[in-house]
Amino acid sequence: MNFKTYYSNRINQLIEEQNPTNRIFVLLGQTSLVEFNMIKAIIADENTFALEGNENIFDDDWYDDIYHTLRKAKNNLLISYAQYSYIEEYRLPDSIRRRILILNDNLRNLFPIYENEFLENTIEQNIDIRPENLPIYQAEQLKINNIYYYSVIKHLDNKVDSVDMFSNTRELRKYSNIIKDEDSTIFPIINFTYDEYALDEFVNNCISNNRFDTKAIVKILKKEKLSESKLTKIKSLNYLLNDFGGELFLLEDEEIQADFTTRDETLNLLKKYWGDNSSFRNLKIYRNPDLSNDIQEISQGQIVEDVINQYHNAKEFKEYRDIFLTAPTGAGKSLLFQLPSFYISQLGDVTIVISPLIALMNDQVNSIFKDRKFTKVAYLNSDLSLTNRNEVIERCKNKEIDVLYMSPELFLSYDIKYFINDRHLGLIVIDEAHLITTWGRDFRVDYWYLGNHISKIRKFANYNGSDEIFGD
């Protein structure tokens, strides 16, 4: 059985389970998966059922027609979530509302759309601004690996009932307990920790390739506790995959290596910019702060190499992760992101450093220029005239600037292409992140929105760069 038949059968099963027989079922899912010959008899409006759009499609005349159909119906009817959202927007009488049951595709929040339905943002437009003609049921649109999606606004009306389409669950076996042969396939990895849409992307790939016989690994940190909703979702997906011969395995991420040796290449990079007599310091860190106060030492070189490795993983579209580090003043945090940024510069890519204070920004740039003899660095702040600021931006676009410092407010105000055009973004550094908790939300409110903004840069602009976040 292919997945379209499976999907349509599941809709039919849910409908048959309901009484009385004059309900209005709303498919909060992918309408293109519905096999019309199986469900056509109960579709309220076949012409617009599978369309994704705004009021240009679901206009007043359309509402009048479908309202008449729903009001007069004596049997079960099926409508799409797009149709329902505009019926609710125009007017949804209680007599119709009481009959509604939402069939919720609970395995994902991202649904595919065609390229011509994707609303491009201009370079100057802040990607956090909702496009005016975005359909009301879409929270946002995203482009992931050249595939277009929208995320859905769920529960437009909390007075209506809903039921999950995939309610059965199956526990995940631990990957470490599975005997792996030398010829075994390398399974794809779903990493919840660093990608909020990882599961959605995996499910959509299974659908587009009609390959639910896939085996995959769900990777989490050992100290991470998944929310109940996430656990239920992956268990439900595991049950579905098992129906087709696939399976999800659970893999806990490894702890920090204790016996790390810095590579000569990294040491040579340190000596090039910090001097021939330079060496990496050891930092004392908590081994697992959620469980104990145990301390271990870690070399600055290990952190530098980890940043560089994550950069390469991201650039090669492999699994990668962000890095968060807190350390006291004087511990050498600046080296931990400056050295990787110099390395990334050699490969022609850009590092953006978010810094909260003009004086701190200016001091770091001047120090890099004078002490490190690295000249492809600049800042953007109010000390520059508009002409000079535009000059810095043009130099960055033209590959004359590879490390660019700016404030969080400026970073949030523009599409990333405004600063770097079509260059590859290698690294984003959030410096002085302790300001969020030290001073509270009212001190630097823009810091609170950086994570969401970076996530949208990755999805909208198709940048895959790694992040570093540093605080005292």
d(CA 380, CA 361): 9
Placement of tokens 């499976």 in the chain? 6
d(CA 412, CA 398): 22
Please compute the mean of the pLDDT values over residues 339-367 and round it to a whole number: 93
Plot region of 312 (φ>0 → left; ψ -120 to 50 → alpha; else → beta): alpha
Nearest to 419 by CA among 398, 397, 400: 397
Tokens of 471: 């605080």
At 241 the pLDDT is 96
Q: Tell me the pLDDT of the chain averaged across its residues.
A: 85
**CA triple 26-72-20, angle to 5 deg:** 55
Nearest to 410 by CA among 422, 397, 393: 393
Domain coordinates of the chain in residue numbers?
3-164, 173-252, 264-471
pLDDT greater than 90 at residue 31: yes
Number of Cβ within a 10 Å radius of residue 310: 23
At 441 the pLDDT is 47
Placement of tokens 């956090």 in the chain? 128
Q: Residue 452: pLDDT band by 50, 70, 90 thresholds?
A: confident
Spatial neighbors of 124 by CB under 8 A, at least 6 apart, are 414, 415, 418
Q: Residues 324-347: pLDDT tens digits?
A: 887 777 778 889 999 999 999 999
d(CA 302, CA 300): 5
At 467 the pLDDT is 54
CB 123, CB 417: distance < 8 Å: yes
pLDDT greater than 70 at residue 469: no
**CA triple 32-228-445, angle to 5 deg:** 90
Placement of tokens 């760069």 in the chain? 465
Compute the Cα dihedral for 439, 445, 451, 454 and give only its sign: negative
Tokens of 373: 């003899």
pLDDT greater than 80 at residue 229: yes
Tell me yes or no: is domain 264-471 CATH 3.10.450.50.
no
- Minimum mean pLDDT range among 35-44, 116-125, 157-166: 116-125
CB 356, CB 408: distance < 8 Å: yes
d(CA 419, CA 345): 16
At 292 the pLDDT is 66
Please compute the mean of the pLDDT values over residues 280-303 and round it to a whole number: 79
Distance of CA 32 to the CA centre of its chain: 24
Nearest to 49 by CA among 20, 1, 82: 82
d(CA 283, CA 267): 17
At 289 the pLDDT is 64
Q: Residues 142-173: pLDDT tens digits?
A: 888 889 999 998 766 677 889 999 999 999 99
